[in-house]
Chain A
Amino acid sequence: MATLKDLSKKKELLTGGHRACAGCGATIVARQVMLASDKPIVVVAATGCLEVTTTIFPYSAWNVPFLHNAFENAAATLSGVTAAYEALKKKGKIKDDINFVAFGGDGGTYDIGLQSLSGAMERGHNLLYVCYNNQAYMNTGVQRSSATARAAHTTTEPAGKVKPGKDRFPKDLTGIMAAHNIPYVGQSVIGMVNNDLIKKAEKAFSINGPKFLNVFQPCRLGWAYKPEETLELGRLAADTCIWPLYEVVDGVWKLTYKPREKKPVTDFMFKQERFRHLKKPENKHIIDEIQNEVDRRWEELRKRCGDM
């Protein structure tokens, strides 16, 4: 990977002045992924925080060609863009090599855009899909998604007398994408000191074919924590193995980060108000349940990666 000093000499592709929250992680994801590209870049975004906050009419924060279509079809739209590009290239009307990226939130990727994403991956377009996963529909007011953490408070599955937040565990989308047998699938997070996300994005851009990156992105609005802790929470998610970092290259699973000491899930959870209700003694069994599930998934992943 190029050093941060070298990267800082590149042109800024996402300007300030967009209307994301102070301390938003989604724009950090977008900046870091775009910096990893050494070719011109074309971006498509699904409806979601990133799209809404960066493209309020008549302003656009993108210094790259940018296209937004609808919530469910970022991957399909980008498929069309790459097909048009390839046709024009064949005719000699475009000569440049271009990287194509789609950004979708967990709502637009795990739930609403899953079929168009699956289709694009199966058809084998040369594109990178990046899911910035903040575990709920933050843009519309923190509604539950299938990526939402167990027992997290959301406005559609609130913690209260009836039940303590979400009663299901999030689904494993990275695993679903790996099952498409595409050349590159990666799971990353913002905040790692070794710049894990930039490294994975660089690797993805160097590979021809469909690529998928699932990036864990702390959200200060929906998770309710202090805005400066965005990256600290990212690191804690990796250190507690709630969000393990790994990649699947041509079907070979590999861990890219192993915490020196695996921290208890409460280190990550109790920094956030969305898990506040779990501090009550009567909810202790839910913490145990979450810890067991995180441990089980971590051991399963280690087996897959040949780490034990």
Chain B
Amino acid sequence: MSKKLGWKELPFGDSIKAGTAEQFETGDWRSLKPIWYADRCIHCMRCWINCPDSSIEVKDGKMTGIDLKHCKGCGICAFECPVKKPGKAITMEAER
């Protein structure tokens, strides 16, 4: 029987780069599409903090859009949007 390897000689298992899932597009899962009305938005960030797919785009404390490459169309953003008049700042529409 050959000599067992010590922990320093053991081959390295595997390590992959961080954050690469961004290259994988899950947007084609969607059957409902969020539509954002910039003029109604009050930038409260409730959609951003509650998005499971990190798909609300923000810059300098303001919402700038929706990342449709990754959004799965769950509708949480539209449901949580607190804007009432003249209507929610995000609504869901059927994907064609």
Contact = CB atoms under 8 A, between A and B. Distances in A.
A266 B92 CA distance: 28
Contact of A5 (B16, B43, B52, B75): B43
A220 B74 CA distance: 10
A9 B67 CA distance: 17
A27 B23 CA distance: 18
A59 B20 contact: yes
B61 A8 contact: yes
B94 interface: no
Q: Chain B CB within 10 Å — which of A8, A64, A66 has the most? A: A8
Interface string B44-85: 111011111111001011000001011111111011100000
A198 B49 CA distance: 10
Interface residues of A, number: 49
Given A8-B58, A16-B71, A22-B72, A60 B20 contact: yes
Given A57-B16, A60-B16, A228 B76 contact: yes
A7 B44 CA distance: 12
Contact of A28 (B25, B45, B52, B73): B52
Contacts of A92: none
A6 B61 CA distance: 7
B31 to A, nearest CB: 9
A35 B54 CA distance: 12
Secondary structure class of chain B's binding surface, majority of residues: loop
Contact of B53 (A27, A62, A191, A198): A27
Interface in A8-35: 8-9, 12, 14-28, 31-32, 35
A244 to B, nearest CB: 21
A65 B78 CA distance: 32
Q: Chain A CB within 10 Å — which of B19, B51, B75 has the most? A: B19
Given A7-B49, A16-B53, A27-B53, A59 B43 contact: no
Interface in A154-186: none
B17 interface: yes
B10 interface: no
Contacts of A9: 58, 60-61
Nearest to A30: B52
A195 interface: yes
Contacts of B20: 58-60
B45 A15 contact: no
A227 interface: yes
B27 to A, nearest CB: 9
Contact of B74 (A18, A23, A59, A61): A23
A16 B21 contact: yes
B22 A4 contact: no
A62 B46 CA distance: 22
A31 B16 CA distance: 20
Nearest to B78: A228
A37 interface: no
A232 B55 contact: no
B61 A60 contact: no
11 contacts: A18-B21, A20-B52, A23-B75, A28-B50, A35-B49, A56-B21, A60-B18, A60-B19, A61-B22, A63-B18, A231-B80
Interface of B: 16-26, 29-30, 43-46, 48-55, 58, 60-61, 67, 69-76, 78-80, 92
Interface of A: 4-9, 12, 14-28, 31-32, 35, 54, 56-66, 190-191, 195, 198, 220, 226-232
